[in-house]
Structure formats: C-alpha cells, structure tokens
Structure 1
Amino acid sequence: MSNDLIVGFSGNLSRPSSTRRFVESVTVSLAKQAGLQHAVFDVEDLGISLAAARSVADLDPAARAVIQTIIDAEALVIGSPTYKGSYTGLFKHVFDLLDPADLRGKPVILTATGGGDRHSLVVEHQLRPLFAFFEAFVLPTAIYASSRDFTDGIPSTAILGRVNQALAEASVLVKARSTADAIAAE
C-alpha cells in the first residue's frame, strides 16, 4: 500500500472494543482533515500467527500485510486499553517485530482507554517512550479516556477538546510531509 493512508492500530484483545471505536473515530477524523483514506486494525487482525512470531517473516501473509500497512502509513493513531498501568503484551509484541527505523519520523497520535483516572499516565509513561524509541514524531497532545468520559459511546467535551487539539497538530505534520514528498518527487 502507498502512504496515502492514515492507519489506526488498537491494542485491544477482543471485539467489540471501546478502544478500537475510539481509535477509529480519531483515525477517520484525521483522514478526513488530511484528505486521505484510512484503515483501522487491532491485535485480533494479526491472527494466531502473532503469538509465536519472532519476526515479521514468521507472520502469516494477512498479518504481514497489516504490518506493512502500518509501516507505510502517512500517520498513525495508536491506542491501547490499559491493563495494570500499561498496554497489553500482544500490543507490545506487534511493535517488537518492527525494525527500529520503520516508524522514524512518522506522525503518531497516542490514545489510551482505561477504567479510571489512575491509569491516565499510561500515554506518558508507557506509550510515548515506546514510540520515541522508534524515533516516531509523537504528537505533543495525547488522549486518555476513562469509561466515564463517554456517554452512549459519545466522548465528553473535554475529551473532544483534546482530540481536536491532537488532530490539529497531526494535520499540520501530515500536510507538511505530503508537500515535502511532492517536492522531492519533482
């Protein structure tokens, strides 16, 4: 796939998932603002080959295609449910399979969901360092939402404010990257 895609990836381990819905909502909004297409995946999309994989080559073809789509994305919206103050193990395993250069310079919006406020630092203490390792361009605004931040699946005004702030930051980067790519292609 080409890099005309905004890709969302959620660390949820089951469906339906509030984390995946949240990641999808942010991904769709960013794609719309950037005038690009979007795709959203979660751990379950990688199938059973993920658990035993020691490299991307060990994954089945469908899972390898998901990984390649993540690598090729123009920007990523990453989200994880919070378990005991961190992301899920299989979520981390997905990124353990990547080469450290695969995400270099890629704009990334971080999101996380959890049962309460005590997990709110997961984006700063777990997700941000993980994507900094990959030298991704992690947006300054990250979004943590607890179950009480949603009413009938609709985010609160405070969460929407953070989402809009992150979207504005990401849109600037995506447009700048597209312009730079167009100039380089000339």
Structure 2
Amino acid sequence: MNVVVVAGSIAGSKTRTAVDYTVKSLKENYSDVDVTLLDLAEYNVQFSDGRNYLDYDGDTGYVARTLMKAEVLIIGTPIFQASIPGSLKNVFDLLPGDGLRDKTAAMIVTAGSARHYLIAEQQLKPILGYMKAQIVQSYVFIEEDNFYRREITNDDVLFRIDRLLEDTMVLAKTSAKIREAKEAEYDF
C-alpha cells in the first residue's frame, strides 16, 4: 500500500515534528506499506493555473503525481490565521476535482490554541470530501504546549497518532476489499 504523508506548510516546525513521528510509527508498525514524506517546505510548488496535473513539471509535477499515486494520504497541517495554509490549499488545487477518489485520508492538525480545533471540520474535511476521499472521521489535534524543542512531549498525543494510523489502515484495507468485491460483480 502506498502511503503519502504531507507536511502541508512551508513555515514552522510543529507540523513537521508531528509528521516525522507519523512516518516513524508507520515504518515501525506497518512494514507492508511504502511511505513517502512530502514536506512542502522542501519543494518549489508553483501556483495552480488550472492545467491538468500531468502537465506540470519539476517539483510541482512531482508533488501532484505523488499525491495522485497515493492510496492513503495523511495530511499534517498547521492552522494559520484560523485557516489551513495556502501552500496546502494550492496542492489540492493542482489535482482534479475527484483526484482523491478511492484514497483514504487522515489529518493531523497543529495549532497555537484550542480555539482552532474545528478548522479541520470546517475547511479541510469539506475539501477532502469534495475530492471524493474516504475520510477518517477522527483526527489528531495538537496544541503548541505539547511540543518542546521539536519533540512531542505529551504521550497521549503519541498514542492518538498511533490510533489514527491504526484507524486509517483499517479503513484503507476495508475500502479496498469493498472495491474489489464490487469490481468482481462485473463479468467482463
């Protein structure tokens, strides 16, 4: 199974810290998956201009094609100004409207305040749903006081990330079996 973990910002370190733990946990606990980390801070992604994602080249083409090949997406995002970063929204804009069909998507959200807890519900889930992703309903929300020197200091946060990964893999495998059974109904 092809899992892509996205660090959806070009600034800050907390989301990258959470995503790094996520990648480590995936590799330790799910040896049957291929894990790719896409940290948007490491790529020069141009603004979407409406072209087909296959028509982009360079970093933009690589990011878009990597997301389209994924079977599972784990999206890490900070909350800036009560919203997801423009860099993450731009990546979604590069993809077709149904570009997340048959992909399982989970979210890890970092924020400076508990007041931003519902941003994932109000902004990120609607985008993922519109793009036809199978969304893991729960997500991990991590506040600033759970980090110290680029480390997650709260064991409950680590437990919640591990649980999110378990829920994500179960949903992905279950959805794949359902699709396979549905396709087997066709006799051509």
The TM tier, using the shorter chain, reads 0.7 to 0.9
- TM-fit CA distance, 1:148: 0.5
- Change beyond 3 A, Cα 1:46–1:126: same
Identity across the alignment (%): 27
Aligned counterpart in structure 1 of residue 135 of structure 2, from 127, 132, 138: 138
Range with greater deviation from structure 2 (144-153 or 88-97): 144-153
Backbone CA RMSD of aligned residues: 2.5
Q: Give the residue type in structure 2 aligned to 1:149.
A: N
Q: Which residue of 1 aligns with 2:158?
A: 160
Aligned counterpart in structure 2 of residue 51 of structure 1, from 37, 47, 50: 47
Q: Which residue of 2 aligns with 1:18?
A: 14
Give the aligned length: 180
Q: Give the residue type in structure 1 aligned to 2:164.
A: A
**Deviation digits for residues 7-44 of structure 1 (CA, Å, limit 9, x no counterpart):** 01122113x62212212322342354332121111323
CA–CA distance in 2 between the matches of 1:155 and 1:120?
A: 19
Aligned counterpart in structure 2 of residue 90 of structure 1, from 87, 91, 110: 87
CA–CA distance in 2 between the matches of 1:118 and 1:17?
A: 20
Q: Which residue of 2 aligns with 1:42?
A: 39
User: Are 1:80 and 2:95 matched, yes or no?
Assistant: no
CA–CA distance in 2 between the matches of 1:164 and 1:67?
A: 27
5+ long unaligned stretches in structure 1? none
For 1:12, what is the secondary structure of its paired residue? coil
Is the 8 Å Cα contact of residues 48 and 94 (structure 2) preserved in structure 1? Answer: no
- Change beyond 3 A, Cα 1:33–1:182: farther
TM-score by length of 2: 0.82
CA–CA distance in 2 between the matches of 1:150 and 1:40?
A: 21
CA–CA distance in 1 between the matches of 2:101 and 2:27?
A: 20
Range with greater deviation from structure 2 (32-41 or 175-184): 175-184
TM-score by length of 1: 0.83
- Change beyond 3 A, Cα 1:155–1:39: farther
User: Are 1:176 and 2:167 matched, yes or no?
Assistant: no
Is the 8 Å Cα contact of residues 2 and 71 (structure 2) preserved in structure 1? Answer: yes
Is the 8 Å Cα contact of residues 78 and 109 (structure 1) preserved in structure 2? Answer: yes
